[in-house]
Structure 1
Amino acid sequence: MSQVIVVGGGLAGLSAAHTLLERGANVLLLDKQGFMGGNSTKATSGINGAGTDSQRNLNIPDTAQIFFEDTKKSARDLARDDLIRVLTGRSGDAVNWLQDKFNLDLSKVSRLGGHSQPRTHRGDAQFPGMVMTYAQLERLEDLSVSIPERVRIIKKARVTKLVKDDNGAVSGVEYTHGGKTEIAYGPVILATGGYAADFTEDSLLKKYRPEYWDLPTTNGEHCTGDGQKLAIAAGASAVDLEKVQVHPTGLVDPKEPDAKVKFLAAEALRGVGGLLLDNTGKRFVDELQHRDYVTGKIWENKKYPIRLVLNGNASKEIEWHCKHYVGRGLMKRFESGDALAKEFGLPADVLRKTFDDYNQSVRTKKDPFGKKFFQGEWKFDDFFNVAIMTPVLHYTMGGLEIDQESRVLDKSGKPIPGLFAAGEVAGGVHGANRLGGSSLLGCVVFGRVSADSAAAYQLQTTSAAIQKAGGRLSALAGQLSSTSSPSSPSPSTTSAAPAAPAAPSASGQYTLAEVAKHNKKDDVWVVVDGQVLDVTSFLPDHPGGEKAILLYAGRDATEEFNMLHDPKVIPRYAPDSVIGKVKA
């Protein structure tokens, strides 16, 4: 069977690639970044699922129908029942697939804003988006080495055009790689993400929501609407491009309050009981309402800065996140209510009354802001984790118009043969507002749906071509089983990504004082587990953004690194960054 081309190496593209392999198709994955993963690696709250094994183990009475109703309510007047039924109806299978196929821990289930049942799954140790994405990424890269005839990965490959045949079907892509323009043939799955960092000259964001142009974003700089623009140029229809979600809780770095790119405060922080307080020390909103509602209340209230406060119980429930944010200087820990009040610049009695009022709501279940779900009462004699919040560009609900089989539609509403879309590049799935926990779900569900559709399409077109060839069946079959056509790129330019070279032997030893001298953006060294790494050239490829590395420039980053990464990340993805060891 000939290849299916997947454009984009985030969770949607990876889920599509693995499903294609399950269906017997070959995969060519093209990603414009040097390190795949996309925004999926940043997702911090979890993945939604209804009727999952984890929910059953916890006796949570959730169903796909309940999830459907919650999602439809969030989507409001732009609800697409057909797409919502696919998203919610296949959600349980998606979560179970991740657990079964990739041996992931998704046993903890919480309730986020807008959900009537706890259904957002995560594990104990790390950010769930990173765990899910890396598990799939590592498995696919291993397969590209062990079965290169079936899996090819080309990084830093920017797709510039969709190729069509004489009948108007998409038959491949044109892309640039290593300074050359290449063509690859096969059905195409677009999984390129959204446009919430689209600050380019032909920005979709500026065209459809210019009032959001100056807002900070949580998105990596690669999220410039590439897939949307490619498909629209090829005749595709787009929907709801003005529907851009502004997340209420972006973390403000006190050292760089005006930074354009913000780190997201996981919605799970509010899900476990965190409260939003304004500069008077008072609540002003139901913290578990929909994202757009909470954002609107922040703008309406206008009493800045807004702080997210977690008490001891909430902090313990999501301890890893708090430790991570504190380590990055984005959150502070206070050991008492008096210390917290001092941070606010308020008398202690003001915060004490806020807690007393909230406890009354917990006891009576009658909250002045309409909150329905509570995580227990608050004590003034407790410890607290606190961060300053700001609304941030986060997710684009608009995108390419698709049907329930992930086929991209043209302006007349008909599927464009050979073109499919999955993840944030596809519009209409979440309507006017996306529920927390449904971004990763949309990637996995529609990644798998698009792969099913692309594999079926490829099989049908291949069979038709073989039948039409008649007496030339054998020769044509041989040609179709090849991974390139006569006008495809030469094997030397599209072969599978080679296995990561072995880490070089230590070329020297360095004192920590010597490492500390290399602390600038154009000269960055860090220490991890006693190894000295020169990560200067790796900065642009780091999926968590260059700031995550620069924070530890010239320092020992072992604790933070090991909180987030598997030990094999360095030898797999950055082996030549190791330049020596720390001198005893």
Structure 2
Amino acid sequence: MSVIVVGGGLAGLSAAHTLLERGANVLLLDKQGFMGGNSTKATSGINGAGTQTQQEAGIPDNVKIFFDDTKKSARELARDDLIRVLTGRSGDAVNWLQDKFALDLSKVSRLGGHSQPRTHRGGAQFPGMVITYAQMERLEDLSVSNPERVKILKKARVTKLVKEGEAVVGVEYHHNGKTETVYGPVILATGGYAADFTEDSLLKKYRPELWDLPTTNGDHCTGDGHKMAMAVGGSGIDLEKVQVHPTGLVDPKEPEAKVKFLAAEALRGVGGLLLDNTGARFVDELQHRDYVTGKMWENKKFPIRLVLNGSASKEIEWHCKHYCGRGLMKRFESGDALAKEMGLAPAVLKKTFEEYNAVVRSKKDPFGKKFFSGEWKYDDIFNVAIMTPVLHYTMGGLEIDAESRVIDTKGKPIAGLFAAGEVAGGVHGANRLGGSSLLGCVVFGRVSGDSAASYLLQQSSAALAKAGGRLGAISGQLGTGSSATDKKSEKEAAKVAAPAPPPSGKKEYTLADVAKHNTKEDVWVVVNGEVLDVTSFLPDHPGGEKAILLYAGRDATEEFNMLHDKKVIQRYAADSVIGTLKE
């Protein structure tokens, strides 16, 4: 029997890897054609207190300080038991990612609401993508080298939890036009509901006034796990707590687009300023997300721009290059050029910078800002983007305990049912701190994996005792307990080769040929000299259709290589390669 993990984002992947470490078998069901979910979009990093990176940088952070910051952010809805788990296991979570998956998390920054720099990322790509892909690729390698231990089904939509008596014993799911039932303990890692625009929308039911806002979420975030669990007696908690992020990037070409790309909180963490349409500051840029959003609405002077000066741009250069490449950010070579873009006299912008510099020197900000990244020059380069509040994260969800067990409406754990990631409510209270979404996925993914593996062993032992068999023989059969074979399997997984390249002899195309295929119904792109027909891949792309359509009929090599390892195409989209680019 396997533990069934529903959802292939970071929470589900972390749960799966933990289950394997504990000797359990895994069946992962993901309703998308490409795993990763919203985890791949996280742009700022993962929080951790007391990590090796912090120690090397001389940052005096610890679990107690992180706990206090999180509890303050959570306010009246703080769940001390869950916050203790989140913050207490944060350092270990970061170390686990670095040690097990060889990830670079060597940079650390301070985001809004944090009293210490503790949000970790590497030197290049979006941390959510890097962290999630590392786990995803490792698990897929294991599914090839050890199919008896790991099975992954994509485009498998779970529609129902199977319950016998008081326990959840499996799931019903649709796959390849068939309805199947599989049995085992269940971990729900299905994400949130901040894109739940369905007929039975949780968003519309609990926060109808936010219904018309744009969202940063993929269309898979429709609260499936919440609805299934509550249908079998699971308790929902804080479902009205939906986080509206202040900095969604507005595409000047599509200002009314429903789905928006998120501006990394790290852009403000490195010193970016928020300026209204008069060129003035109006808020402490490092305050909690809900506070900054509230001030944007209160100020009412749109458009609001996020402005990075030269030093801030250099600190987070990769992000700026990526946003500029997607047409979501614009670079200006001088203060005069920026003032002209904003429709302001140069003297107005100069005054704003001079007033801010006085604040930096005095450390007395009328908006309450306490942490600064140096003074500003008018004669500088600037990277600038237009911001708007966006639906981002749902703090509410299924009620869980400190062991990630889903709680029923009577206040008791539902046997055989666990939850991790955004589907689990109560972890962040009334407001989530930046950098804690990836952390919540990893920490509670690991907790749920521990708990589900323990539950499976207990159930197996009980069934064995009832049948009068021998525990040692059967537990070995079930894969419970770490063994030399398990360790060998992990090592072999790293040796699994990527899928074979497409057959040689593919047709050659010119850029002019490719340029003819530039619509949503027929889209080709060029990547590293290969021509891809990605029309059928559009719905499965974790970054959304727009990320591909931006390069429809064009060479997307530079943007692709900024975000991906070259082996990604052969691993996940080999069928899309239709030929090579003719010189």
Q: Shorter-chain TM-score: which interval?
A: over 0.9
- In structure 1, the partner of 2:488 is none
Equivalent residue of 1:98, what SS? helix
Q: What's the counterpart of residue 540 of structure 1?
A: 539
Q: CA deviation at 1:478?
A: 9.5
Q: Corresponding residue for 2:106?
A: 107
Matched residues in 2 for 1:545 and 1:430: separation? 27
Specify the alignment match of 1:190 in structure 2.
188
Show the counterpart of 2:205. Answer: 207
Q: Counterpart in 1 of 2:325? A: 327
Q: What's the CA shift for 1:507?
A: 2.2
User: Identity of paired residues, percent?
Assistant: 84
Q: What code does the residue aligned with 1:465 have?
A: A
Per the TM alignment, residue 125 of structure 1 is displaced from its structure 2 partner at its CA by 1.0
What is the CA–CA distance in structure 2 between the aligned matches of 1:259 and 1:500, rounded to whole Å? 36
Q: Counterpart in 2 of 1:468?
A: 466
Equivalent-residue separation in structure 2 for 1:425 and 1:372 (angstroms): 34
Who is 2:521 aligned against?
522
What amino acid is the match of 1:73? K
Shift of residue 505, structure 1, vs aligned partner: 2.6
Do the aligned residues in 2 keep the contact of 1:504 with 1:579 (CA within 8 Å)?
no
Q: Match for 2:445 among 447, 450, 462?
A: 447
* Aligned position for 2:17: 18
CA distance in 2, matches of 1:477, 1:110: 45
Match in the other structure for 1:80: 79
Q: Establish whether residue 220 from structure 1 lines up as the match of residue 221 from structure 2.
A: no
Shift of 1:578: 0.6
CA distance in 2, matches of 1:340, 1:419: 54
Secondary structure of the 1:163 match is strand
Look up the equivalent residue of 1:382 and give its one-letter code: D
Counterpart contact for 1:62–1:117, Cα < 8 Å: yes
1:197–1:223 Cα contact (<8 Å) kept? yes
Name the structure 1 match of 2:381. Answer: 383
Alignment gaps of 5+ in structure 1: 483-497
Q: CA offsets per residue over residues 274-321 of structure 1, 9 Å max, x none?
A: 000000000000000000000000000000100000000000000000
Q: Which residue of 2 aligns with 1:36?
A: 35
SS at match of 2:181: strand
**Partner of 2:566 in structure 1?**
567
How many Å separate the matches in 2 of 1:176 and 1:67?
42
CA contact (8 A) 1:244 1:398 kept: yes
The aligned residue for residue 137 of structure 2 is 138
Tell me the SS of whatever aligns to 1:276.
strand
What secondary structure is seen at the aligned counterpart in 2 of 1:73?
helix
Q: Would you say the 8 A contact 2:24–2:479 is kept in 1?
A: no
Q: 2:401–2:407: 8 Å Cα contact kept in structure 1?
A: yes
Query: Which amino acid is the alignment partner of residue 206 of structure 2?
Result: Y
Task: Provide the C-alpha distance between the structure 2 equivalents of 1:45 and 1:569, rounded to a whole number of angstroms.
Answer: 22
d(CA) in 1 for partners of 2:61 and 2:581?
52
Equivalent residue runs for 1:293-308 within 5 Å: 293-308=291-306
Matched-pair contact (CA < 8 Å) for 1:176–1:182: yes
Residue 581 of structure 2 is aligned to residue 582 of structure 1: yes
Which residue of structure 2 lines up, in the alignment, with residue 310 of structure 1?
308
Name the aligned partner's letter for residue 6 of structure 1. Answer: V
Which residue of structure 1 aligns with residue 46 of structure 2?
47
Query: CA distance change for structure 1 residues 523 and 366 in 2, over 3 Å: closer, same or farther?
Result: same
1:8 paired to 2:21: no
Aligned positions of 1:124-163 closer than 5 A: 124-163=123-162
Match for 1:280 among 278, 281, 294?
278
User: Following the alignment from structure 1 to structure 2, what is the Cα–Cα distance between the partners of residues 411 and 305?
Assistant: 45
**Structure 2 residue 131 is matched with structure 1 residue 97:** no
Equivalent residues in 2 for 1:485-500, closer than 5 Å: 500=499
Cα deviation per residue 1:375-398 (whole Å; 9 max; x = unaligned)? 000000000000000000000000
Check 1:509–1:80 CA distance in 2 against 1; reply closer, same or farther (3 A cut): same
What amino acid does structure 2 have at the position aligned with 1:538?
F
Question: What is the CA distance between 1:412 and its match in structure 2?
Answer: 0.9
Provide the rounded CA distance (Å) in 1 between the counterparts of 2:10 and 2:82.
19
CA distance in 1, matches of 2:570, 2:270: 36
Partner amino acid, structure 1, of 2:238? D
AA matched with 2:383: N
C-alpha contact 1:469 1:476 (8 A) present in aligned 2: no
1:171-190 alignment, distance < 5 Å: 171-190=169-188
Give the secondary structure class of the aligned counterpart of 1:394.
strand
Whether 1:356 aligns to 2:354 is: yes
Q: Deviations over 1:15-35 (max 9, x none)?
A: 000000000000000000000
1:494 — aligned with what?
A: none
Deviations 1:116-148 (A, max 9, x none): 000000000100000000000000000000000
Equivalence for 2:245:
247
In structure 1, what is the equivalent of residue 428 of structure 2? 430
Match of 2:263 in 1: 265
In the alignment, does 2:293 pair up with 1:291? no
C-alpha separation in 1, matches of 2:503 and 2:201: 42
Do structure 1's residue 512 and structure 2's residue 511 form an aligned pair? yes
Measured against aligned partners, the alpha-carbon deviations of 1:451-500 in whole angstroms (never above 9, x if no partner) come to 00000011011101100012698998799679xxxxxxxxxxxxxxx984
Structure 2 unmatched runs, 5+? 481-496
In structure 1, the partner of 2:494 is none
SS at match of 1:229: helix
Corresponding letter in the other structure for 1:309? V
- Structure 1 residues 302 and 471: alpha-carbon distance in aligned structure 2, compared to 1, 3 A threshold: closer
User: Structure 1-normalised TM-score?
Assistant: 0.96
SS of equivalent residue, structure 2 residue 406 = strand
Could you tell me whether the CA contact under 8 Å between 2:336 and 2:346 is conserved in 1?
A: yes
Counterpart AA for 1:292:
D
Following superposition, the deviation at residue 200 of structure 1 comes to: 0.2
Are the aligned partners of 1:145 and 1:499 in contact in 2 as well (CA < 8 Å)?
Answer: no
Letter in 2 for 1:9: G
Distance 2:427 2:455 in 1: 22
Matches of 1:314 and 1:355, distance apart in 2: 14
How far apart, in 2, do the equivalents of 1:506 and 1:307 lie? 50
- Say whether 1:230 aligns with 2:228: yes
Contact 1:506–1:578, Cα closer than 8 Å, also in 2: no
Q: Over aligned residues, Cα RMSD in angstroms?
A: 1.6
Q: Distance in 1 between matches of 2:302 and 2:423?
A: 34
- Residue identity in the other structure for 2:241: K
Distance 2:77 2:306 in 1: 31
Task: Label 1:221 to 1:504 Cα distance change in 2 as closer, same or farther (>3 A).
Answer: farther
Structure 1 CA distance, aligned partners of 2:472 and 2:367?
A: 71
Kept in 1, the 8 Å contact 2:24–2:478? The answer is: no
- Tell me if the contact between 2:110 and 2:118 (Cα under 8 Å) persists in the aligned partners: yes
Shift of 1:502: 3.8
Aligned residue for 1:527, secondary structure, equals strand
AA in 2 matched with 1:146 = S
Instruction: Tell me if the contact between 2:23 and 2:479 (Cα under 8 Å) persists in the aligned partners.
Output: no
Aligned to 2:553: 554
2:69 corresponds to which residue?
70
Structure 1 contact 12–422 (Cα < 8 Å) conserved: yes
Q: Tell me what 2:487 maps to.
A: none
Asked whether the 8 Å contact 1:506–1:579 carries over to 2, the reply is no
**Does structure 2 retain, via aligned residues, the 8 Å contact 1:504–1:575?**
no
User: Aligned residue for 1:256?
Assistant: 254
Letter in 2 for 1:286: D
Equivalent residues of 2:461, 2:471 under 8 A apart: no
Where do 1:403-418 residues align within 5 Å? 403-418=401-416
**Residues 138, 380 of structure 1: CA spacing in aligned structure 2 closer, same or farther, 3 A cutoff?**
same
| Change in CA separation of 1:509 and 1:189 when aligned onto 2, cut-off 3 Å | same
